[in-house]
Amino acid sequence: MCLFYVAKQHRREGRYPQSAGGNKVRSSIFNPLPLLIADEIGGVPVGLRDTAGGESQNAVQKNKCIRCYPTLVLHYICRISEAVRHSQAENVIFVCLCSHLLLSLFIKFHCMEGLVTKNTGSWYIVRTENGDSIRCKIKGNFRLKGIRSTNPVSVGDLVDIELNPDQTAFITRIHERKNYIIRRSSNLSKESHIIAANIDHALLIVTVNTPPTSTTFIDRFLATAEAYRIPVCIVINKSDTFTEEDREYAEALRYLYTSIGYDCHCVSAITGEGFDFIDSFIANKITLLSGHSGVGKSTIIDRILPNAHVKIGAVSTSHHKGMHTTTFSEMYPLPQGGYIIDTPGIKGFGTIDFNPNEVAHFFPEIFEISQNCRFNNCTHRHEPGCAVLKALENHQISESRYTSYLSIIEDSSEGKYREAF
């Protein structure tokens, strides 16, 4: 405001041109920003108008390389810098003001924030605040910052991007994540893979057959979600294909996980059975869908968003496992607000960065009973006076859950991830 005041004083002293009637002078400069400044201070310095006027406008229009506004702003910053050298002292304040505001616009339009909505391997799709989707790459220095993940940028990340003249961009910074789901990469024991970031809750899609989902896989996912405070709802899909034996097993699964505090639903993505809870569950939330290949994640999204046209595959009849149809993670906006994230099928779920002494914290029923153990650092494997082992003998803790607990401790102690889960 001080600069505007001084500039107005200069205008009153006759240092800026005015029309005969005292009206403000409208410059022919192509850049719209100086016109706004001219409205404020009553005119444009002669030196600046002569230096950055008609000739530069024609040059800009003829320059086919300048295709986006950020580049245009940068061009005018350079032109104003030239004007500074040729301007008289009384014009310096105006020139500096123009440069400052143009630089602010350059930063605003050239550097943006956005949400990563799709990961295609080498490219990321970032949705900006104004709704544009921009193809982005990460700069090489991300690999030098000690990030031990196979995907430094994940779907759901909030990022800063710098626009390029060809309408692509570089991701320059990842905002701090509130949470994420992470697993050990199956082929790289020391590398991790972030499935999704900044999510409100997760739907873990499982099936009792075609393909079967083991309780070990379920428990590993739940433990990881507990570690990062992500609520999980278990969805047992394909209820329309259940035999009587399948239905009994599905009910046993539902009883096991509801008894320890998890929501669990039996549904059919084909018929719509059991889908009553879905709409209210996902509204205005960022929801992750995860599970093995072939459990019906894409079919569920197709039922929720019929116009999404998600590719759907079949289960192999030879080994009863799903075949990858979703190859990259992608966020789909929901009409009621929020997003749903479709992810590639996970063959195995290896845990990472778990302290063996803290694994029990991520099994709610084990953690609750462990308060009665004789030793504070009890690992619940062989210690005398262990309340967890006693509860296991009395069937207060499921054997499958305890087996999963031991397997995660072994993962934390061993260097190699075993892909069997």
Residues 76 and 117 in one domain: no
User: Distance (Å, rounded) from C-alpha 185 to C-alpha 294?
Assistant: 20
Q: Look at residue 355 in the predicted model and tell me its pLDDT.
A: 85
Query: Both 19 and 35 in a single domain?
Result: yes
- What is the pLDDT at residue 261? 94
Q: Where is pLDDT greater, at 130 or 378?
A: 378
Residue 228 neighbours by CB under 8 Å, 6+ apart: 179, 180, 181, 182
Q: Are residue 105 and residue 123 in the same domain, yes or no?
A: no
Give the CATH number for residue 271.
Answer: 3.40.50.300
Q: Are residue 154 and residue 34 in the same domain, yes or no? A: no
Lowest mean pLDDT among 75-84, 165-174, 178-187, 363-372: 75-84
In order, the DSSP letters of 226-280 are HHTT--EEEEE--GGG--HHHHHHHHHHHHHHHTTT-EEEE--TTT-TTGGGHHH
Band (pLDDT 50/70/90 cuts) for residue 320 is very low
| The pLDDT value given to residue 182 | 85
CATH number of the domain to which 122 belongs = 2.40.50.140
Predicted confidence band of residue 215 (pLDDT cuts 50, 70, 90): very high
What is the arithmetic mean of pLDDT over 270-299?
91
Q: Which residues pair with 180 in a beta bridge?
A: 197
Q: Out of 96-105, 336-345, 363-372, 405-414, give the one with best mean pLDDT.
A: 363-372
Over residues 365-419, the pLDDT tens digits come to: 999 999 999 998 899 998 999 999 999 999 999 999 999 999 998 876 654 444 4
Using the 3D structure, point to which of 109, 126, 155 is the last residue of a domain: 109
160 and 36 in one domain? no
CB contact at 8 A, 332 and 301: yes
The better pLDDT of the pair 201, 83 is held by 201
The secondary structure of 129-167 as a DSSP string is TTS-EEEEEE-GGGGGTT--BS-SS-TT-EEEEEE-TTS
Give CA–CA dist 243/365, Å, rounded.
Answer: 31
- Residues in CB range of 141: below 8 A, 6 or more apart: none
Q: What is the 3 state secondary structure string of 202-231?
A: EEEEECCCCCCCCHHHHHHHHHHHHHCCCC
What's the sign of the alpha-carbon dihedral 289, 294, 295, 299?
Answer: positive
H-run or E-run covering 180: strand 180-184
pLDDT at 41: 39
Q: 258-279 burial string, b = 16+ CB within 10 Å, else e?
A: eeeebbbbbbbbeeeebbeebe
- Considering the domain architecture, whether residues 277 and 391 belong to the same structural domain is answered as yes
What single-letter amino acid sits at 254? R
375 three-state secondary structure: coil
pLDDT (0 to 100) of residue 25: 41
Does position 37 have pLDDT exceeding 70, yes or no? no
Asked if 114 and 127 count as a contact pair (C-beta separation under 8 A), the reply is yes
Tens-place pLDDT, residues 300-313:
999 999 876 655 54
Q: If you count DSSP H runs as helices and E runs as strands, how many of each does the chain have, helices first?
A: 13, 13
- Out of 104-113, 153-162, 346-355, least confident range: 104-113
Write out the two tokens for 269. 């993505």
Residues 299 and 351 in one domain: yes
- How confident is residue 106, by pLDDT bands cut at 50, 70 and 90? low
Q: Who has greater pLDDT, 39 or 196?
A: 196
Domains identified in the chain, total number = 3
Rounded to 5°, angle at Cα 108 from 284 and 73: 145
pLDDT top residue among 43 and 352: 352
Select from 142, 125, 139, 136 the least CA-distant residue to 169. Answer: 136
Q: Strand (E) positions, 322-418?
A: 330-333, 338-342
Which of 331-335, 352-356, 400-404 has the weakest average pLDDT?
A: 352-356
Among 70, 89, 109, give the residue marking a domain's end: 109
The lowest-confidence range among 117-131, 243-257, 336-350, 366-380 is: 336-350
Q: Which domain-ending residue is among 75, 109, 143?
A: 109
Do residues 356 and 221 share a domain? yes
Site of tokens 């990961």: 119
> Which residues is 193 bridged to in the sheet?
183
Same domain (yes/no): 263, 369:
yes
Is residue 2's pLDDT more than 70? no
Same domain, 104 and 128: no
The pLDDT confidence band at residue 65, using thresholds 50, 70 and 90, is very low
Mean pLDDT, the chain, whole residue set: 75
Q: pLDDT band at 60, cuts 50/70/90?
A: very low
Q: Say whether both 92 and 236 belong to one domain.
A: no
**pLDDT for the residue 151:** 80
Whether residues 190 and 249 fall in one domain: yes
Quote the domain boundaries for residue 118. Answer: 111-174
- Asked if omega into 212 is within 30° of 0 (cis), the reply is no
Pairwise pLDDT comparison (354 vs 243), residue with the higher score:
243
Answer whether residue 264 shows pLDDT above 80.
Answer: yes
